[in-house]
Amino acid sequence: MIPRYARPEMTAIWEPATKFRIWYEIEAHACDAMARLGVIPQENADAVWKAKDVEFDVARIDEIEAVTKHDVIAFLTHLAEHVGSEEARFVHQGMTSSDVLDTCLNVQLVRAADILLADMDKVLAALKKRAFEHKMTVRVGRSHGIHAEPTTMGLTFARFYAEMDRGKARLQAARDEVATGAISGAVGTFANIDPRVEEHVCEKLGLRPEPISTQVIPRDRHAMFFAVLGVIASSIENIAIEIRHMQRTEVLEGAEFFSMGQKGSSAMPHKKNPVLTENLTGLARLVRMTVIPAMENVALWHERDISHSSVERGIGPDATVTLDFALNRLAGVIDKMLIFPENMLENMNKFAGLVMSQRVLLALTQAGVSREDAYSMVQRNALKVWEERLDFRELLLADEEVVAALGEDAINEKFDMSYHTKHVDTIFQRVFGES
């Protein structure tokens, strides 16, 4: 976690103090369940709650761990310092370290997912607002970076909205999938602890009992969680790349907001650089970087090894903190983004009328011209537009073969821009449920 790219609410989830608080709640709830089942005395379970308002001393736990070389044992030793050795003697009864570690991790991932889902709502709201604002703002669509046919800026925002909405649905599913806990003891057989303890702890922590654990919760759940974060990061980059392209001097159809006092370059005072979206491209790479290690964590030896542990200590906070920051930055970029409709029209008309070539091609085929001949007729005029910067419509009107097939009125009609926007309402209805 780099503080520059971190927000307090998300980083708090991964603070040692938060982790130890969750560990404590797992142990205390487990004691309650065991007391209810008659496994341990009720007074011992009650005694554990004496520490409910304690701020666990992270430095002290680290000091103990330096000797024990075991983080959970260090925590339990520190807990006994608050509760009393005799009172705490039934804490962790029949449990194994992974019961605490894995259940805690999933609590943290669920909390992180809830923040990320709220972040995505911010992005979706910004995209929807800008989509309706520029629903009919015409711009040229591009394929291979080359002018293709007219579209609208509203449709650009709408497709990003639909993509992010899919991402939110995937994240919700990933959150639900990772929301399991395991209090099943060594190798997951419940030999030394009643399954009802697991049920009680999970209920108190907002989780579901893991159907079958092998001393660890299966890591395919976590692999899917991080894979979804990676996909969302890629969607962030998809939007960022489009904005970066739009801000290029030669294009300038849109731009990041440039605040008063902001500087674009240490050397060139004229510069307005797309630094926020470039930053988002980089942050997306960092989030995706966590996906392969998460997938490699699925394959553990037998019932458990700890090759996954060091990985998750890094990728858990890194992926969620970075994505949280990126989503909030993206929402701000979209909300304040400058749009330049006049430049969009100017760019589209840079090669006058050329974007209507397909419509002329289709009209020729419908008029009885073979597709091969029609393509040749349109292309020979289109190439003159490319090479000589002439007007496409005027070239067609001067082409006797095209005029003979279509007539002048039909040729002129093919340059009506509204032809390309007639189904915008339909698309908006599909995406937003309203138009």
Q: Does residue 213 sit in helix, strand or coil?
A: coil
Instruction: List active site positions.
Output: 144, 265
As a residue count, the chain comes to: 435
Rounded CA separation 197/194 (Å): 6
Q: Is the pLDDT of residue 249 over 80?
A: yes
Give yes or no for a contact between 41 and 51, defined as CB atoms under 8 angstroms apart.
Answer: no
Please write the tens of the pLDDT for every residue from 87-116. Answer: 999 999 999 999 999 999 999 999 999 999
Give yes or no for a contact between 108 and 13, defined as CB atoms under 8 angstroms apart.
Answer: yes
Please write the tens of the pLDDT for every residue from 337-382. Answer: 999 999 999 999 999 999 999 999 999 999 999 999 999 999 999 9
Please write the tens of the pLDDT for every residue from 189-200. Answer: 999 999 999 999
Q: Is the pLDDT of residue 264 over 80?
A: no
The strand pairing partners of 339, in sequence order, are 254
The rounded percent of the chain whose pLDDT value lies above 90 is 95
Residue 417 pLDDT: 94
Residue 1 pLDDT: 62
Just give the CATH number of 354-414.
1.10.40.30
Alpha carbon distance, N-terminus to C-terminus of the chain? 42
Q: Which amino acid is at 339?
A: I
Residue 44's alpha-carbon distances to 39, 93, 94, 290, in angstroms, are 11, 12, 15, 42
Encoding tokens for residue 45?
């379970």
196: alpha, beta or left? (left if phi > 0; alpha if psi -120 to 50): alpha
- What is the mean predicted confidence (pLDDT) over 372-399? 96
Which DSSP letter does residue 216 get? S
Element (H, E) at 55: none
Q: Is the domain 8-93 a CATH 1.10.275.10 member? A: yes
Degrees, nearest 5: CA angle 320-322-327: 95
Q: Which amino acid is at 192?
A: N
User: What's the distance, CA 95 to chain centroid?
Assistant: 35
Nearest to 213 by CA among 195, 226, 227, 201: 195
Q: Is the pLDDT of residue 271 over 90?
A: no
Instruction: Tally Cβ neighbours within 10 Å of residue 145.
Output: 7
Q: Is the pLDDT of residue 261 over 80?
A: no
Rounded CA separation 435/429 (Å): 5
With 0-12 / 13-18 / 19 or more C-beta atoms within 10 angstroms meaning exposed / middle / buried, residue 129 is middle
- What is the mean predicted confidence (pLDDT) over 119-142? 98
Please write the tens of the pLDDT for every residue from 65-74. Answer: 999 999 999 9
Residue 38's alpha-carbon distances to 42, 200, 256, 332, 375, in angstroms, are 8, 14, 64, 55, 85
Q: Is the pLDDT of residue 54 over 70?
A: yes
- What is the mean predicted confidence (pLDDT) over 228-233? 98
Give yes or no for a contact between 322 and 5, defined as CB atoms under 8 angstroms apart.
Answer: yes
pLDDT band at 263 (very low <50, low <70, confident <90, very high): confident
- What is the mean predicted confidence (pLDDT) over 207-225? 97
Please provide the average confidence, as pLDDT, over all residues in the chain.
96
pLDDT band at 421 (very low <50, low <70, confident <90, very high): very high
Q: Is the pLDDT of residue 318 over 90?
A: yes
Architecture of domain 96-192+205-344: Up-down Bundle (1.20)
**Dihedral pair phi/psi, residue 180, rounded to 5°:** -125, 155
Q: What residue ranges do the domains of the chain occupy?
A: 8-93, 96-192+205-344, 354-414
Q: Does residue 151 sit in helix, strand or coil?
A: strand
Please write the tens of the pLDDT for every residue from 36-45. Answer: 999 999 999 9
Does 8-93 match 96-192+205-344 in CATH topology? no
Please write the tens of the pLDDT for every residue from 151-182. Answer: 999 999 999 999 999 999 999 999 999 999 99
- Cα dihedral 83→88→91→96 (10° resolution): 100
